[in-house]
Amino acid sequence: MAFALPPLPYAYDALEPYIDSTTVCFLTKHHNTYVTNVNNVLAGENGGSLKGLSLSAIQKEVVSLPDSIKTAVRNSGGGHWNHSFFWSVMGKTGSIAEAPSGDLKSSIESTFGSLDEMQKKFNTAAATRFGSGWAWLSVNADGQLFISSTPNQDNPLMEGIVDQPGTPILGLDVWEHAYYLKYQNRRPEYIASWWKTVDFDVIAKNYTAAKSGGLPAFDTPLA
């Protein structure tokens, strides 16, 4: 068993002008490093504890892994899941749903008051994450939406590790390498621009899955 780098679901320049093609290219190289590193764990002495698990299942098992591989899986397995998920929630302007509808829209409005208020809270979580990490919109065990941020490559699936566990339906990479080539130190500008790439049809599907106890569906191929 070994993971493979999933193909981008769009061209490298599809997210222009909000996320430049050079950054997307570099990010896929970072992503590939995470894939390589988690595969090295799988092939190693204690990799048997991961064999047969999906990438999402691995996130949920991080807390119970042997200490000898826990940090590597948390960082590289998390990095693989996070980036695969990140690519899946975006798309080319003109071919995406730029606003929520249906049950997702209703839930956002009942939880946060409006889409605008949700985005403000999300933006704050992303902008104030110290150092490297991610911002998330997730569904908790009670089926309620919540916003959180995590350091490094942690994600809300890592119950027992993160402060607020849940099922992510939207995530944003706020590591500097995700935006520095285009935005330099202007992280808030990157965050505001990124919303122009978010496909709310995908987020709605993720929300429906999470509400029924499922997980987001995206490509995590095996080698």
User: Is 0.85 surpassed by the pTM of this model?
Assistant: yes
> How far is 41 from 44, CA to CA, in rounded Å?
5
CATH number of the CATH domain containing 195: 3.55.40.20
pLDDT by residue for the chain (223 residues), tens only, comes to: 799 999 999 999 999 999 999 999 999 999 999 999 999 999 998 999 898 899 999 999 999 999 999 999 999 999 999 999 999 999 999 999 999 999 999 999 999 999 999 999 999 999 999 999 999 999 999 999 999 999 999 999 999 999 999 999 999 999 999 999 999 999 999 999 999 999 999 999 999 999 999 999 999 999 8
CA distance readout (Å), 141 to 26, 135, 144, 165 = 35, 19, 7, 8
Known binding residue 80? Answer is no
What's residue 173's pLDDT? 98
Q: Is 83 annotated as a binding residue?
A: yes
Domain membership flag for residue 112: yes
φ, ψ for residue 191, nearest 5 deg: -60, -45
Give a three-class secondary structure readout of the chain: CCECCCCCCCCCCCCCCCCCHHHHHHHHHHHHHHHHHHHHHHCCCCHHHCCCCCHHHHHHHHHHCCHHHHHHHHHHHHHHHHHHHHHHCECCCCCCCCCCCHHHHHHHHHHHCCHHHHHHHHHHHHHCCCCCEEEEEEECCCCCEEEEEEECCCCCCCCCCCCCCCEEEEEEECCHHHCHHHHCCCHHHHHHHHHHHECHHHHHHHHHHHHCCCCCCCCCCEC
Residue 176 lies in a domain: yes
What's the CA angle centered on 29, arms 214 and 69, to 5 degrees?
60
User: Does 103 carry a binding-site annotation?
Assistant: no
| Residue 12 falls inside a structural domain | no
Q: Is residue 81 situated within a structural domain?
A: yes
Ramachandran sector of residue 154 (left: φ over 0; alpha: ψ -120 to 50; beta: rest)? beta
Domain count for the chain: 1
Asked whether residue 8 is domain-assigned, the answer is no
Tell me whether residue 223 is in a domain: no
* Residue 174, domain member (yes or no): yes
Q: What is the pLDDT of residue 1?
A: 79
Residue 10 within any structural domain of the chain: no
Peptide bond into 17 cis (omega under 30): yes
Question: Domain range spanning residue 139?
Answer: 19-218
